[in-house]
Structure 1
Amino acid sequence: MLNEELIKHFYTSFKNGDAEGMILCYDSNIVFSDPVFGELKGTEAKNMWRMLIASSKGNLKIDFENVIVDNKAGSANWVAEYDFSKTGRKVINHIHAQFEFQNGKIIRHTDEFDLWKWSRQALGWKGYVLGWTPFMKIGIRKMARRNLLKYTQNNKASI
């Protein structure tokens, strides 16, 4: 698969709620990072997508555009619309993704977005008041990591 097709397949699978289709685009040693989870490697990164798709329960809208690639790297802009599971609040998150490729797979995936804006949407007034602070950023990461660990432990037989 060409690198442009790889990114398009990744996001089309995401749009369709197909975590396994997304994961097929990743190298086994994938390194993923974003402001919420921090750095995740290998199976941990793959399980993050499985968890996010499962927890959305079909209430996730994904759009992507501006796919730009060359032989080694690429980028895309994407938007996720969903209800944050902990609060039920509507989130519309605008994300810039960067990719690195090797042997027809994604080896590095970095998502960048405004965590304070995300926290205001997801957490309401608490996110507005505290979302920019290191304390809140650490708390958000701990919660996300805890949820990923719990998901992984509860789904070991199917992963």
Structure 2
Amino acid sequence: MSQTATLALLNRYYTAFNSGDWEGMLACLSDDVAHDINQGARQVGKDAFRTFLAHMERCYAEQLRNLVLMASADGSRGSAEFVVHGEYLATDEGLPEAKGQRYVLPAGAFFAIENGLISRVTVYYNLADWEAQVIG
């Protein structure tokens, strides 16, 4: 896959995210996608990713802004840097109580690309920063 094609794939993935188009996001993923959740365990497969998205939709409303996409010359790896603008809708297990708090959080993601699809998604953000914002 070319660098240009990888950037287009990542753009489709994030455009779908910002539109709340979970099926559009899933269409960008391989069936055996590895998803490394920030501060959490690796989940494998589209079904696990679909469950993760449903959980996120219940607990958070988020838009990603200032998106910068990057890809390796051979298109096998990609990354994204962005700022999450969100609202904490429902209490997530093990986290502070949700009361509709708003937050703005820098974040990043790394991707592996195989056969024209995302085969790994690894997301990072500063959980302590997020907690400080929602505890206020």
Higher relative contact order (CA 8 A, sep 6+): 2
CA RMSD of aligned residues (A): 1.9
- Deviation at residue 37 of structure 1 after TM alignment: 3.9
**In structure 2, how many angstroms separate the alpha carbons of the residues matched to 1:68 and 1:30?**
20
Q: Tell me the distance in 1 between the aligned counterparts of 2:101 and 2:44.
A: 29
| Paired residue total | 122
* Structure with the bigger percentage of helix: 1
- Identify unmatched segments of 5+ residues in structure 2: 92-97
Deviation at 1:66, TM superposition (A): 2.0
Structure 1 stretches of 4+ moved >4 Å: none
Task: Kindly indicate which of the two structures has a greater share of residues assigned to strand.
Answer: 2
Q: Percent identity?
A: 22
Give the structure 1 partner of residue 51 of structure 2.
47
Structure 1: 5+ residue stretches without partners? 126-159
2:103 aligns to what? 91
TM-score where L is the length of structure 2: 0.79
CA 67–46 in structure 1, closer or farther in 2 if over 3 Å, else same:
same
Q: 2:133 is aligned with what amino acid?
A: Q
1:30 aligns with 2:33: yes
1:73 and 2:74 equivalent? no
CA–CA separation in structure 2 for the residues paired with 1:78 and 1:47: 23
C-alpha separation in 1, matches of 2:23 and 2:55:
11
